[in-house]
Structure 1
Amino acid sequence: MLNWLKAHCDTILASLPPQRLLALDALRGLTITAMILVNNPGSWSYVYGPLRHAEWHGWTVTDLIFPFFIVIVGMSLQFSMQRQSTPGISSHSNSQLIRHAATRSLKLFGLGLFLALFYYNFADPAYSYLEQKLLNLRWLGVLQRIGLVYFATVLIVLYCGTRGRIAWLLALALVYLLAMWFMPYQDSQGNTFSGLLLFGNSFAAWLDHTVLGVNHLYYRSATPFAFDPEGIWSTLPAIASCLSGVLLAQWLQSGHSLTHKIRGLLLVGVIAVWVAELWHFSLPINKSLWTPSFVLLSSGYCAIVLAACIWLCDVKRWRRWSAPFVVFGANAILFYMLAGVLARVLVMIPVGDGLLQGWLFSRVFQPLFGNFNGSLAFALTFLTLSYLLMHWCYRRGYIFKV
């Protein structure tokens, strides 16, 4: 069995182009794997603390997953831009690149809306898809944010050099903070607020509530304002996260030695995390608001984990561990889509007095492993089955490109 696993991993790694940065593929795969793991427990009533999001201010390991992916988008974008500008590789004009980026962004946004609409409550004969889903569609979400952030970052990267990109990163954080701290806003009772970072009471929440409407947001019952964790205003610092990925990729493209690059990533990462934790006392680290302190923290940890991946893959040459994550990372969007569809199917099909997922958990995983371990075992089984499907796609060269 062990020899088969080694051969399996070696076959995957042998299929990669020699110039490809394995550490980035491994990090992308790790990130999307973690995202699917935390999104699919057997029961939301039994989830270990680190696999949950922080309730409001503060953070858990789970809160780092989505910003890691955003940073990786920025890194991949920079590497892609470099390849397109390399002599001998077909180059495109800025207008072509912008059209391509706009198309990709619209596709990502559309896929996000598809997942938001992919649900029907078969267990309720009175369920109205028109009233409860179509007319109450959540406009924003994970894929929608990636699409918006990607397009904005492409524009900045195309027209700005390194100093311009740093300036944009800082400006986005500053504009976000100025509005959050000083922009006054009113609720329906005429009460005026400003400078609040409360659940349901911040400038970001007011903007989501006012522009998108209560019925189209994730936290619809929040008061005095419904809001979305992937909302309008928090998209600005999310773009800053993506730009941090661009800057990390530029560092990796520099002429320094590999050891020097790893040390640089570690130094920047540790300083960013340290500053973010100190800043937390005056500007809370908060994923739902995507505060600039959260940008610093998540980008810092991403730099540290990337340095670790480069050290393992390229310095120590310990590569086999990365092979399954390469498979997941190569088809990250397809993996996310299929996992999202399957997760929804499991809570759509009625079985007995409940739904298929609840039946599987209560009849199979809970009796075998207990409450919390059973919920985790369900998520790990979900991942294992997903890997079989993703590996089948990988072997046949089917890569879903948006």
Structure 2
Amino acid sequence: MSDRKQLDTGGADIESSTPLLTKPPRNVAVDAYRGLVMLLMMAEVLRLSAVARAYPNSLFWHILAFNQTHVEWTWFGLHDLIQPSFTFLVGVALPYSIRSRQRKGETFAHSLAHTIIRSFILIALGIFLRSIGKPITYFTFEDTLTQIGLGYTFAFLLAWCKPRWQWIAFAAILFGYWLAWALYPLPPANFDYASVGVTPEWHSHLLHGFAAHWNKNANLGQAFDVWFLNLFPRTSPFLFNRGGYLTLSFIPTLGTMLLGLFAGRWLIASAPQIPFRRLLIAATALTAGGVLLHVLGINPIVKRIWTPAWTLFSGGLCFYILAAFLWLVDKHKQHRLAFPLVVVGMNSIAAYLIAHLWEDFVESSLRTHLGDRVLNIFGTGLQPLLLGGLTLLIYWYALYWMYRRNIFLRI
């Protein structure tokens, strides 16, 4: 599954004492973090895996390629942090967005209606993009936009609760989801994994013992999708997702969004100070909690099915990254250094659409007008990198053009 993927990020908290008539400045660090996430997603055009295959003895290219692909099952690479970071930042932006709407005198009912519409649009947009090139509408709900859309309204409602109830909801979501999977029967000993798309070559990634409840396409989420996705029109019955991705992952993904919500509230409550201590304590506790669940065999860290351990582990890493951006951009005022990322981060929906819709046109145009003589100037092995780099530059310049003209796509 590709992670190709505005929410207002300037404002004050629901409970802030900042006067409603005073518009607080944008949180540039959050914009920069979002920009990095989107840039990593758009950078798939660099095709580092193809470059690594051209240089099989180069550790350098293989490390880069590993971090531009999703791991097969347990643990993670850099690319696996794109979706949780994007989801986390949606949560960070939520209290700012609510505060902004309060400043305009918007009622709760109107905000809720807008949130429901936004959720629906995110889901519909995700399905639309996944259907490109398909003979009919391709109804799946495991991509980034639909996963966020499925959980966004619930996050909005929880944003109005007291922090204690938000934490209770967070714990209940993860524990309840873990328990449901743990109670779901394991496949029989002679289970034919090939029938659910698990090839013999993949068997080295299969989990054993209690952790086997979270094996690829032999779990509660798979059973749900076989029922749920076949309710929609399809060219053939749904049997399995080749990557192991699931609709029900939106439930623990909601947990990631809530972690972002906690971070957003802390940032607003402490402004203009930065709550580094609180952010780093949360980061360490969450990361350690996820690792502990994994090593004890209670729950494995698997991004593809968004296990509760992954929610904790990746959420902790998101807190670390957010703290780093706050330290660099806000504390040390490195706004010029962050500017290229801010250009992308302030137009994240546009960046997501560009990455999905422009790639073939831009690359084919570059091939037509530059030709192999130019694209192979550094050798055929590096052609994918040069072509992808030029494509990425065009993407960024388009977003810069929109930035200069105050054109920002928002849902």
Indicate the TM-score class for this superposition, using the shorter chain for normalisation: 0.7 to 0.9
Aligned partners of 1:175 and 1:276: how far apart in 2?
A: 16
- 5 Å matches for 1:166-245? 166-184=167-185, 196-213=213-230, 225-226=240-241, 231-245=246-260
How far apart are 1:306 and its partner, in Å? Answer: 1.1
| Matched position secondary structure for 1:163 | helix
Aligned partners of 1:199 and 1:369: how far apart in 2?
A: 39
How far apart are 1:136 and its partner, in Å? Answer: 4.9
Cross-structure match for 1:84: 101
- Counterpart of 1:380, as a letter, is G
Aligned partners of 1:73 and 1:28: how far apart in 2?
A: 9
Which of 366, 374, 378 is the aligned partner of 1:368?
Answer: 378
Decide whether the 8 Å contact of 2:230 with 2:238 is kept in 1: no
Aligned partners of 1:79 and 1:392: how far apart in 2?
A: 26
Q: TM-score, normalised by structure 2?
A: 0.77
Decide whether the 8 Å contact of 2:147 with 2:247 is kept in 1: no
Decide whether the 8 Å contact of 1:30 with 1:325 is kept in 2: yes
Which of 239, 261, 265 is the aligned partner of 1:250?
Answer: 265
How far apart are 1:92 and its partner, in Å? Answer: 2.3
Aligned partners of 2:254 and 2:369: how far apart in 1?
A: 41
Cross-structure match for 1:382: 391
The reply on whether 1:20 has 2:26 as its aligned counterpart is: yes
Structure 1 residue runs of 5 or longer lacking an equivalent are 1-16, 120-131
- Counterpart of 2:46, as a letter, is P
- Counterpart of 2:176, as a letter, is V
Output one character per residue of 1:153-176: Cα deviation in whole Å (capped at 9) or x when no partner: 112223x21111111111111111
- Counterpart of 1:22, as a letter, is V
The reply on whether 1:274 has 2:291 as its aligned counterpart is: no
Aligned partners of 2:367 and 2:227: how far apart in 1?
A: 36
Which of 37, 41, 48 is the aligned partner of 2:46?
Answer: 41
The reply on whether 1:313 has 2:342 as its aligned counterpart is: no
Which of 107, 119, 144 is the aligned partner of 1:105?
Answer: 119
The reply on whether 1:339 has 2:348 as its aligned counterpart is: no
- Counterpart of 2:317, as a letter, is Y
Q: TM-score, normalised by structure 1?
A: 0.78
How far apart are 1:227 and its partner, in Å? Answer: 6.6
Output one character per residue of 1:29-58: Cα deviation in whole Å (capped at 9) or x when no partner: 1111111113x2347544611111101111
Decide whether the 8 Å contact of 2:174 with 2:308 is kept in 1: yes
RMSD after superposition: 3.3
Cross-structure match for 2:6: none
% identical equivalent positions: 26
The reply on whether 1:30 has 2:16 as its aligned counterpart is: no
Tell me how many residue pairs correspond in the alignment: 355
How far apart are 1:27 and its partner, in Å? Answer: 0.7
The reply on whether 1:327 has 2:327 as its aligned counterpart is: no
Cross-structure match for 1:152: 154
How far apart are 1:102 and its partner, in Å? Answer: 1.0
Cross-structure match for 1:304: 320
| Matched position secondary structure for 1:91 | coil
How far apart are 1:256 and its partner, in Å? Answer: 7.2
Cα 1:229/1:167, change in 2 over 3 Å: farther
How far apart are 1:181 and its partner, in Å? Answer: 0.8
The reply on whether 1:164 has 2:165 as its aligned counterpart is: yes
| Matched position secondary structure for 1:400 | coil
How far apart are 1:205 and its partner, in Å? Answer: 1.4
How far apart are 1:70 and its partner, in Å? Answer: 0.2
Decide whether the 8 Å contact of 1:139 with 1:216 is kept in 2: no
How far apart are 1:182 and its partner, in Å? Answer: 0.4
Cα 1:335/1:136, change in 2 over 3 Å: closer
Aligned partners of 1:166 and 1:339: how far apart in 2?
A: 35
- Counterpart of 1:336, as a letter, is Y
Aligned partners of 1:21 and 1:334: how far apart in 2?
A: 19
How far apart are 1:257 and its partner, in Å? Answer: 6.9
Output one character per residue of 1:336-375: Cα deviation in whole Å (capped at 9) or x when no partner: 112200125479x7x9xxxx9899997754562553x443
Cα 1:279/1:102, change in 2 over 3 Å: same
How far apart are 1:230 and its partner, in Å? Answer: 5.1
| Matched position secondary structure for 2:106 | coil
Output one character per residue of 1:82-128: Cα deviation in whole Å (capped at 9) or x when no partner: 3334xxx2232222111101111111122212212222xxxxxxxxx
Aligned partners of 1:186 and 1:216: how far apart in 2?
A: 28
Aligned partners of 2:371 and 2:304: how far apart in 1?
A: 29
Decide whether the 8 Å contact of 1:33 with 1:328 is kept in 2: yes
| Matched position secondary structure for 2:258 | helix
| Matched position secondary structure for 1:280 | helix
Which of 132, 135, 149 is the aligned partner of 1:133?
Answer: 135
Cα 1:169/1:42, change in 2 over 3 Å: same
Which of 58, 77, 97 is the aligned partner of 1:60?
Answer: 77
| Matched position secondary structure for 2:300 | coil
